[in-house]
Chain A
Amino acid sequence: MHLGVSESMRECEYSQISTRSSTPMETPYKKRTPKKRKWESFQGRNKFYCDGRIMMAKQTGVFYLTLVLILVTCGLFFTFDCPFLALELTPVIPVIGGVLFMFVLGTLLRTSFSDPGVLPRATPDEAADLERQIDVANGSTGYKPPPRTKEVVINGQTVKLKYCFTCKIFRPPRASHCSLCDNCVERFDHHCPWVGNCVGRRNYRFFYMFILSLSFLTIFIFAFVITHIILSSNRNGFLSALKDSPASVLEVVVCFFSVWSIVGLSGFHTYLISSNQTTNEDIKGSWSSKRGKDNYNPYSHGNIFTNCCAALCGPLPPSLIDRRGFIQSDTPQLAPPTNGITMYGATQSQQSHMCDQDQCIQSTKFVLQAAATPLLQQQSSEPVILTTSPENGGTLTGRTSLTLGGPCTSLPLGQPTPPTSTPSLSCHEATDMLPIHGHSLAHNHSHPLQEPVAHHHFLTPEEVPSPPGMLPCGSPLGHSHTMQAGFYNPASQDSLHEDSVRGLVKLSSV
């Protein structure tokens, strides 16, 4: 049956394929779904505000405490102490105080709201490629792969690069995975609850300037409040001085307790900067001479001055996660893989609010099918389990149990990631549907499924793309790893099941 010229082919239903059940998915009209920004499908446990401009960790309570402490203390200082001091001593005092206060606030907000240097997770293709390389290197026949590390020599020092099971990448040197935010962060220093964010490559200098300026501010306020009380008590007596400005007492108390920790922290970070180490490295003693006499820091530039300048005034790399970019389909993908079309067409769900949900439903089907079908249980006992690296905080449900419609927090299907790392758990919409981190599971299945699948354009569920021109929304081969939160509607399970059987038979027949 001749379908006509190529352009119209894109728009026609693939109706002559008998296995395909016609769905509104393939209707030729363009779906007018709003374009989503990448932050909306971000896989870490971060919170975004202002349409992706502001990025913070999930727990921000302590950050608000920090803010309140600073604002209240400074507010009291300016209201009660500054008038006296301006009159008695000099009006420069409130001015300097004001400048310091603005600087502290600015650096705090900058530290808290910016991207610390999060590494985006690997795309499915990359992950598959790495897996293949690892398998080739190991030649392992047993199912449980050995811990994955790569050694690299940097300036004469051997550094081990660890494989991150959550992000599916080999972490660059100095990067670390933050278990609170569930992201790999470049040059990871630490996760600071006081600023409500990780401190990494992109915001370390702001963090340092924040604690430095806060130390100055604290000492400044402390000193001048004491001065105020002393001058006041010289005139009127100590007790009446205290009665006149009770706020001063509060300020003194707050400052007294803060000054030790903040000044101490500033000193510590000054040392770290001058030796070009991260908190992480210092705590582990990675470059300590106690480990061996040949152990030295390969990242240090040699002298203190250069290290400081590099850390504070060096170039600021841009954010790698492009939170405000739009999720778009990958244009070079001209012809969809045929199996993909078949399986995509077998999607049953109609009422997806956004196109990506169809892909997620598709992937969900894969997941369910893969877990349930005897086809895939030919390999070793637990086909869907990968070893979890302990630093991923592996609260891993290792069982491949299909408990659909279960609570969101329990991932029923074995994942290499902790259950709470699914994207939808931190998602903003309230959902009672089961989120499934479909792609990683499908990725697991590319392992037991034979090589042809892996080479076969890596047919994971996300790679069931829309035929070009059919649906304008995100093909999974998009620029960023746009695995949406998978939503599964238990109501359509049976027909989905049937479709996925069909789909998987095709997949395995490749």
Chain B
Amino acid sequence: MGTEMGQKRHSASLANKVFIQRDYSEGTTCKFQTKFPSELESRIERTLFEDTVKTLNNYYAEAEKIGGQSYLEGCLACATAYLIFLCVETRYEKVLKKIAKYIQEQNEKIYAPRGLLITDPIERGMRVIEISIYEDRGSSGSSSGSSSVSGSTAR
């Protein structure tokens, strides 16, 4: 019931979501597990996935790095009573923008052609990297996740 809609369309439907959890082995810094989830085995190469996660981890490490530049930023901000952030972005925010761009790029080039979609972790409270797996409706009458059992067609 209702699948007849989907069957007419060449649209993908959401089949499943995989969640890459945080890796806390180095403390509270933001880092995601690079373990390859089994649901993606048939969809994408392991190396590509690991590359994506490692790059994201590097970006986050860069954002949270404590060193000369962050101290300078902190002291300057304190000296100006944090008003400086009305004009200038924090380093963290700049890196987050880079991350968003990177994820979009990865989605376009690598993940979308394989029927996958990465959601930016910031939209999930930095808890998980959510990877949505899409099934092509046209290819299978009832895809694994979301279509109903009755594949009745109304023509």
A interface, CB within 8 angstroms of B: 1-3, 6, 9, 14, 16-17, 19, 102-103, 106, 110, 119-120, 122-123, 125-126, 129-130, 152-155, 159, 161, 169-170, 172-174, 186-187, 209, 298-299, 306, 309-310, 312-318, 320-322, 332-335, 337-339, 341-342, 455-457, 477, 479-480, 506, 509-510
Nearest A residue to B63, CB-CB: A315
**Cross-chain contact B9 with A318 (CB below 8 angstroms):** no
From B1, B15, B21, name the one whose CB has the most chain A CB atoms within 10 angstroms: B1
Of all A-B residue pairs in the complex, the 6 with the closest CB atoms, nearest first, are: A313-B74, A338-B2, A120-B125, A337-B146, A457-B146, A335-B13
- Chain B interface residue count, CB cutoff 8 Å, equals 62
- On B, residues with C-beta under 8 Å from A are 1-3, 5-6, 8-19, 21-22, 24-28, 63-66, 70-71, 73-75, 77-78, 81-82, 90-93, 96, 117, 122-128, 130, 132, 134, 137, 144-149, 154-155
A473 to chain B, nearest CB (A): 18
Query: Measured between alpha carbons, how far is A316 from B63 in the docked complex, in Å?
Result: 9
Q: Cβ of B1: which chain A residues have Cβ within 8 Å of it?
A: 17, 19, 338, 342, 506
Cα separation A309 to B130 with both chains bound (whole Å): 34
Q: Is the interface of B mostly helix, strand, loop or mixed?
A: mixed
- Given the known interface contacts A509-B149, A510-B149, the answer about A335 and B11 at a Cβ–Cβ threshold of 8 Å is yes
Chain B contacts of A106 at CB under 8 A?
81-82
Q: When the two chains form their complex, are residues A316 and B28 in contact, meaning their CB atoms are under 8 A apart?
A: no
Given A9-B8, A298-B27, A339-B148, are A479 and B123 neighbors across the interface (CB < 8 Å)? yes
The reply to whether A169 and B127 contact each other, CB–CB distance below 8 Å, is yes
Question: Is A126 touching B146 in the complex (CB atoms < 8 A)?
Answer: no
Nearest opposing residue in chain A for B64, CB measure: A315
Is chain A's interface secondary structure helix, strand, loop, or mixed overall?
A: loop
Residues of A within 8 A of B17 (CB): 125, 129
With A122-B127, A457-B14 already in contact, the answer to whether A314 and B9 are too (CB < 8 A) is no
**30 A-B residue contacts at CB 8 Å?**
A3-B5, A14-B2, A106-B82, A126-B19, A126-B124, A169-B127, A170-B21, A172-B22, A299-B28, A306-B66, A312-B74, A313-B75, A315-B63, A315-B73, A315-B92, A318-B90, A318-B96, A320-B126, A333-B14, A334-B11, A334-B12, A334-B13, A335-B6, A335-B11, A335-B137, A338-B5, A338-B6, A455-B145, A457-B145, A509-B149
A480 contacts which chain B residues (CB < 8 A)? Answer: 123
A199 to chain B, nearest CB (A): 16
The chain A residue sitting closest to B155, CB to CB, is A2
| Residues of the A chain whose Cβ atoms lie less than 8 Å from the Cβ of B63 | 315
Given contacts A129-B17, A172-B22, 16 further A-B contacts (CB under 8 A): A126-B19, A126-B128, A129-B19, A173-B27, A306-B66, A309-B71, A312-B74, A317-B92, A332-B134, A337-B148, A338-B2, A338-B5, A338-B147, A455-B16, A456-B146, A457-B15
